[in-house]
């Protein structure tokens, strides 16, 4: 972006590759919130998601030189985290998504929202957990993380028509499940 105090991703990557490993902290701060949310929705557990994202970021650091398009660092990071989540899920029996996580820690600036959202969020997470990992991934990337289908293709390695089909099926499944709980 070139704005003072806000180096672009490409600049940060160049700094890290040039030996300034502390600059990787900028990458972490810039993307951890989205990555953590994505992984939490995929795994159904905040702790498991934090582990997956931390491992992914360390892996990203160690393989940063292989990031061919530093300007698309975000998509590359999502790809690493998505793969990590899939590996994590593959090690567990199908459908075994942990939903027994404690209630969200109240954001001290928004504790009322946390108080009232816990129950509804749990319901939605349960519905999300019934989707296959592929559909869940497509839905979360599209609607929760706000990626375009082109970006999703870069993250998942799938073709856009395939991703669209997954998102459409995910929407239909979720709507049905949520209606059942109305």
| Residues near other proteins, by CB under 8 A | 3-6, 21-22, 24-26, 28-30, 32-33, 36-37, 40-41, 46-47, 49-51, 53-55, 57-58, 61-62, 104-117, 120-121, 124-125, 127-128, 140, 143-144, 149, 164, 167-169, 171-176, 178-179, 182
| CA distance linking residue 135 with residue 170, whole number of Å | 6
Which residue, 154 or 170, is less far from other proteins as judged by CB?
A: 170
CB-wise, 129 or 154, nearer to other proteins?
A: 129
What's the alpha-carbon Rg for the chain, to the nearest Å? 17
- What is the smallest separation between the CB atom of 68 and other proteins, expressed in angstroms? 21
Q: Which is nearer to other proteins, 54 or 70 (CB)?
A: 54
CB of 86 to other proteins, least distance (A): 17
DSSP codes of every residue in 106-119: PPTT-HHHHHHHHH
Q: Which is nearer to other proteins, 3 or 90 (CB)?
A: 3
143, 79, 43, 56 alpha-carbon torsion, rounded to 10°: -140
Q: Do residues 47 and 15 touch, judged by C-beta distance below 8 A?
A: no
Q: What is each CA distance from 160 to 41, 59, 137, 153, 170, in whole angstroms?
A: 22, 27, 14, 6, 15
Report the nearest approach of other proteins to the CB of residue 58 (Å): 5
Measured from the CB atom, is 15 or 171 closer to other proteins?
171
* Among 171, 177, 167, 166, residue whose Cα is nearest residue 123: 177
Nearest approach in angstroms of CB 146 to other proteins is 8
Taking the complex as a whole, how short is the minimal distance between the CB of residue 150 and other proteins, in angstroms? Answer: 12
25 neighbors 62 (Cβ within 8 angstroms): no
Question: Which pair of structure tokens corresponds to residue 168?
Answer: 């459409």
């Amino acid at each position: 972006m070139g704005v003072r105090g806000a180096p672009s991703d490409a600049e940060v990557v160049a700094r890290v590759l040039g030996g300034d490993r502390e600059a990787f902290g900028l990458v972490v701060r810039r993307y951890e919130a989205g990555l953590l949310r994505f992984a939490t929705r995929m795994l159904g557990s905040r702790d498991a998601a934090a582990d997956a994202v931390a491992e992914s970021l360390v892996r990203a650091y160690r393989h940063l030189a292989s990031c061919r398009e530093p300007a698309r660092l975000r998509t590359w990071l999502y790809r690493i985290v998505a793969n990590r989540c899939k590996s994590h899920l593959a090690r567990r029996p199908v459908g075994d998504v942990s939903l027994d996580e404690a209630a969200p820690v109240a954001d001290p600036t928004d504790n009322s929202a946390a108080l009232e959202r816990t129950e509804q969020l749990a319901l939605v997470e349960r519905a999300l957990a019934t989707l296959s990992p592929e559909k869940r991934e497509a839905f979360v990337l599209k609607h929760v993380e706000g990626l375009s289908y082109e970006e999703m293709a870069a993250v998942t390695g799938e073709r856009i028509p395939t991703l669209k089909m997954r998102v459409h099926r995910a929407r239909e499944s979720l709507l049905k499940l949520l209606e059942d709980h109305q």
